[in-house]
Structure 1
Amino acid sequence: MNPKTIKALTEASRLIGEGRKDRALAHLEARIEHVKSTPIGLTLLGLLLAEAGRHGEALERIERALKLDPAYVEAYRQQTRSLGTVGRDQDALAAAEAGLRLAPGDPDLLLQKAVSLQELKRLDEAADTYAAALALHPANPHLLAGLGLLLLRLDRPAEALNALEHAEQHAGAAPGYDGAAIARNRAAALEALGRDEEALAAIETARAGRGDPQIELSRALLLLALGRWQEGWAAYEVRDMSAARGDVATIESLRAHLRANGFTVPEIGNDPLARTPVWAPDAPEGSTLIVTAEQGLGDILQMARYLPILAARAKVTMRAPKPLHRFLASVDAPIEFVDRIEKGRRFDHKIAMFSIPRVLGTTPETVPVTVPYLRADPERVAAWRDRLGPEGFKVVIAWQGNPLGTIDRGRSVPLTAFAPLAAIPGVRLISVQKTYGLDQLDRLPDGMRVETLGTEFDGGEDAFLDTAAVMAACDLVVTTDTSVVHVAGATGRPTCVALKFQPDWRWRLGGHTSPWYPTVTPVRQSRPGAWDDVFERIAALVAARAAAV
């Protein structure tokens, strides 16, 4: 290695040690002629480019380093990190395995292999990789933290908590250790075990001085789950998607987090509403108000209860996904529904749907619960009633949410869990399940029958019109915690919702009732993962209702 290369790398290392990585990157880029022929220099440059968010350039430098020296293990470490960051998980796995052929026990490469397997949904293989890695490196905090996150995804919170606590115990001054992420995941494990107050304490410790939007979001949801709504609604404003409210990097981090958890997130770009003031109850009556839908379809239906309240005070336009417009239009209020804001259109005020409870001071005791606030189309109800016929006690069922987001972890159930309901004499199970989990209809146990409604069921551009009508034509709804329960609750249908041990925040209060939906009966797991008991209790409720008809 020539003296100029050594000098360039030495200075870059010094700047990195001082925390001045941007200066180190500029230093190396200015001296590219001296470092481009050495794998060490190219790999260091790749690392700095990756940390600056320039992942395409980083990967190009790493690939050049590996061409110069195919046995340079550090290059494989950086390559698999960068590939994982840009979502090329299969390539990241291949890079980790190539590095491990050269350094079989390398803890960083074992970690990256496990992470890649996890992202590829090969969870059992990821668990095996962590086990093998921890057998070699039992006190490695990065491996322990990764295992904890995997165990959370596998809905094994007690084991996850143990791994995460060990990660914190062994952290010391481990380079690259993300204490905030570990604390956040430890809080998630405590929450999953029903230890909400301990989880909140962990979050409060983790958030001290950090300004991490994901920690703030976790704190807000915990406060809401605990019934501390005044604090919770205020804290929940961290989810705000308006670029006018904070720095873009923080907002984009939060947007990515919401997307990863299965939420729909509106584009912000050149937001035409950025300078529109937020609505408050003392705004002049008759002023124009734009209400912005946010998050999942079920969330929008839940918050639609506030539309008549707002429409009594303002001229309301609601921006919402177009497939929901016809169903939302059944609300008893003069609302204009749009899916985008036309260029040049102005409003006196704006409000995002999940800011309405904060502005109105909603508490568990003051939730607007007049139902139905959305209604099924009478003609569709009549048509479905004729098609289904009068026979039997008709139970509408749904069992599967979107499995692509972590929000679905532990909340969906196998269709076979409904077998005790199918065994009740005179009960008919009628599926309104769409898209996900339909393959389970081909694997029903002997004696279990589930009726389906054909490909035309809710098959047009509009969402939930047939779902709401079928519910109105049937006797009862039994569902997991997906958008289906919000359709049922908003239309006032008698419903049982099967909930995991620690469900979403909106179901934590009320025991066997819900502050949001008076016709919905929550039936909760007595312990994590125990669905048999839930459906035995639901079957008893169904049998009693069927006998009373």
Structure 2
Amino acid sequence: MPIVNFAVAVEKGKAHLDAGRPDLAAFLFGQVLEAHPTHPDAVNGMVSVLMQMGRADEAMALLRRGLEANPNHPDMRVNRGALYLMTNDYESAIRTYEGLLAEEPDDPVQLVNLGGAYMGIGRIEDALDCFRRATEVAPDYGGGHLNLGMLRMVLDTEGSAAAAEADFRRALDCDPNLHGAWLNICTLRRRAGDPEGARDAAEMALILAPHLLDYHQNFAECLLALGRRGDARKVLESLLQVNASFLPAELALAQIAVDEDRPAAAIAHLHRGTELRPQDPLIWANLAALLHRQGRIEQADTALDRALTLDPGNAAARMHKGRIQLAGGRLADGLANLAAMYDLPEVAAQSPFGRLEGAEPAWDGGPLAADLPQGGHLVLAPEPDESLTFLMFRFVAAAREKVARITFLDFRGLGPLAGQVPGIDAVAAVGDGADIPCDAIQRLGALPGLLPGALADPGATVPYLTPPPAAAKAWKDRLSALAGIANLPTIGLLWCPEGRRDPGDERALPLQQAERLLQVPNVRFVSLQFGPAQNELDELAQGGLVTRLGQHVDSPSALAGALAAVDLVIAVDGPAADLAGAMGLRAWVLLPHMPEWRWAQKDGAPIWYPTVTAFRQARAGDWESAVAAAARSLERMLGD
């Protein structure tokens, strides 16, 4: 039998709604509506439930029926305005709230609602007037101060952060239960670089509204900002116990697992993420990256295909797809997809070519004859990183066969070395831009796609780089002057790719793990390690077995001279390894378990660098296996 005590049922339903239990509220409102389908308070309550559930169309249909029977019901009219806001029908919301204010001009709640509608259509000054007026007519109404502070945050002018926080504090003085004020204070404290203050505010918001799942997520993020990863993980895991379908918690736990080097757990969380939101290409792309790191190539490729089906323009997914294709020997497709990296803002900002685009036509691979306005002149720009630039230099000679003249733009001190590349006629040192008359421009990395047959046997062009003569002589003399080195093979050693030890860089070799190699007798090790990492020799027990020369590696040309002067280069993945390979030197590269695509092998040698031998970790993080294999090979080589 339906409930007949309508008044009590409606009041309890409202209480459940305020307490974050829309399911119980819906039951009570539904019981009343079963007996009285147009009961105004039950209609209004059920509309609020449906709005919380995001079911705006159902809410509007029910509200219309309720207003037909009760056209002047004030709460239903207010909810109608809220529904217009929810569906972004700001003009209708404005008409609704203006009508309510015409009847009661000093209603602070409707002033705030009208201000929110004005913000929706960009009428910021009108919104500001509404919020200010609400605080003037009702100084004790917390909602007015809260919304005024939120608008100041949007305006983000000088001093607005402090003024906004003052507004939120006033809102809390009026109503200590305004959890939204604490949430906004948390945001302001984060922006101000005050993680402790942000955590305290997030905790207050959570205490006041524990039923709001986003508040648990926000609190966990504040804990993460303080480095309290374990505490954040507990909050997020508890959150998933309450709602196993809360996607933000799964994604945050995946990132925590990555940071804690628990890839299997991270993959599990991202798999769950794809179940919860199967149409999100970013989740599929992130899953692919983790699968790839684990060596699960086919699964990673499948995940990337899914991401690209959902979003063909996803540059990160295309770039990753290119890396997998290149590592599998599909060079043309791989390079075409790898080029998507230039659509990523962080890469584009570092791309020299991006600073030149639009100045001259991009070269399409066609002939540039000497009778063109600038004499068939092609200008080439380097790639964003030195490793890729060194690799792509191999295609310049083929490009030179189709044009009358090539100038290389030197953005990073590669000029003396680039001047040795076959096909480069001139080098122009430039800063943030260049104004060199030419008939076309292009980036080095685009050349293989513009030159038919260039990828048929990329290793056949090696060597295509040589050190400048002065650098080569200086290093030959430097090594000849070392005492006791004349009758011993000399091995150049580099253990950090970019000269510094960056957290999370899997390519860098902990120098202590190189000791097995340094114990091989009858050789002379010289450190060619440049940058701050060269000082790590001071902490090495076998440091006396290594002659420090990295202080003299102060340019790419000096590095090339040093590599050419030793009998064998042993380096980790980085510019030095690519440079040694491009010079056709005998070199060994120590690689992580899942190396970069440049080290894909064919017939036992890297596709791009046939004179390089690769030693790869047997398992992720297992440098001991790679170093031991190199040491054994060195012992065999010395014994021959």
- TM-score normalized with structure 2 length: 0.69
Deviation at 1:150, TM superposition (A): 4.0
Name the structure 2 match of 1:130: 233
Counting matched residue pairs gives 510
Q: Equivalent residue for 1:245?
A: none
Distance 1:274 1:195, change over 3 A: farther
For the structure 1 residues 403 and 351, does the alpha-carbon distance in structure 2 shift closer, same or farther, using more than 3 Å as the test?
Answer: same
Any idea what the Cα deviations from partners look like across 1:58-116, whole Å, max 9, x if unmatched?
Answer: 957753543434675445545666887xxx69445642443225526776466556657
User: Scaled by the length of structure 1, what TM-score is found?
Assistant: 0.79
C-alpha spacing 1:309/1:538, structure 2 compared with 1 (3 Å) = same
| Displacement of 1:514 | 0.7
Distance 1:450 1:400 in 2: 16
Q: Does 1:215 align with 2:317?
A: yes
2:295 and 2:594 in contact (8 A); partners too: yes
Which residue identity lines up with residue 451 of structure 2 in the other structure? L
Give, in whole Å, the separation in 2 of the partners of 1:119 and 1:304.
Answer: 43
User: 1:141 corresponds to which residue?
Assistant: 247
Q: CA distance change for structure 1 residues 511 and 43 in 2, over 3 Å: closer, same or farther?
A: farther
Paired residue secondary structure (1:502): coil
Question: 1:266 Cα shift?
Answer: 3.0
Among candidates 384, 395, 408, match of residue 478 of structure 2:
384
Please give the alpha-carbon distance, in whole angstroms, between the structure 1 residues aligned to 2:376 and 2:560: 33
SS of alignment partner, residue 541 of structure 1: helix
Question: Matches of 1:135 and 1:392 in 2, distance apart?
Answer: 63
Counterparts of residues 204-353 of structure 1 (less than 5 Å): 204-210=305-311, 211-240=313-342, 251=343, 254-256=344-346, 264-266=350-352, 268=354, 271=356, 273-284=358-369, 287-314=376-403, 315-340=405-430, 345-353=436-444
Of residues 164, 168, 184, the one that matches 2:274 is 168
8 Å Cα contact 1:413/1:531 also seen in 2: yes
8 A contact 1:431–1:451 mirrored in 2: yes
Tell me the equivalent position of 1:434: 530
Shift of 1:147: 2.7
Deviation at 1:396, TM superposition (A): 1.2
Select 1:397's aligned residue among 488, 493, 501. 493
Q: Does the alignment pair 1:374 with 2:465?
A: yes
Partner of 2:586: 494
Out of 606, 617, 620, the residue aligned to residue 525 of structure 1 is 617
Residues 273-307 of structure 1, C-alpha deviations (whole Å, 9 max, x = no match) = 44513231444476111111121112111111122
**Is 1:192 paired with 2:293?**
yes
Matched, 1:41 2:147: yes
Confirm or deny that 1:26 pairs with 2:121. yes
Q: Deviations over 1:236-268 (max 9, x none)?
A: 33234xxxxxxxxxx4xx122677xxxx33384
Report if the CA contact (8 A) 1:230-1:363 is conserved: no
| CA 1:385–1:521: 2 relative to 1, 3 Å | same
Are 1:182 and 2:287 matched, yes or no?
Answer: no
Task: Give the Cα separation in 2 of the matches to 1:426 and 1:222.
Answer: 41
Pick from 507, 513, 519 the counterpart of residue 605 of structure 2.
Answer: 513
Higher normalized helix content (fraction of residues): 2
Tell me if structure 2 keeps the 8 A contact 1:229–1:362.
Answer: no
State the Cα distance separating 1:325 from its structure 2 match.
0.7
Please identify, of 291-300 and 441-450, the stretch whose mean Cα deviation from structure 2 is larger: 441-450
CA spacing shift, 1:369–1:290, aligned 2, 3 Å: same
Q: Which residue of 1 aligns with 2:26?
A: none
Structure 2 gap ranges (5+) = 1-74, 94-115, 136-143
For the 8 Å contact 2:183–2:202, the answer to whether it is kept is yes
Q: Secondary structure at the match of 1:137?
A: helix
Q: 1:542 to 1:532 in 2, by over 3 A?
A: same
Which residue is equivalent to 1:472? 564
Deviates more, 1:329-338 or 1:65-74: 65-74
Larger RCO (alpha carbons 8 Å, 6+ apart)? 1
CA contact (8 A) 1:397 1:431 kept: yes
Q: Specify whether residues 40 and 204 from structure 1 end up closer, same or farther in structure 2 by C-alpha distance, changes over 3 A only.
A: farther
1:175 aligned partner = none
Distance 2:353 2:442 in 1: 16
Letter in 1 for 2:88: L
More off after superposition, 108-117 vs 330-339:
108-117
Match of 1:15 in 2: 88
Name the SS of the counterpart of 1:200 in structure 2. helix
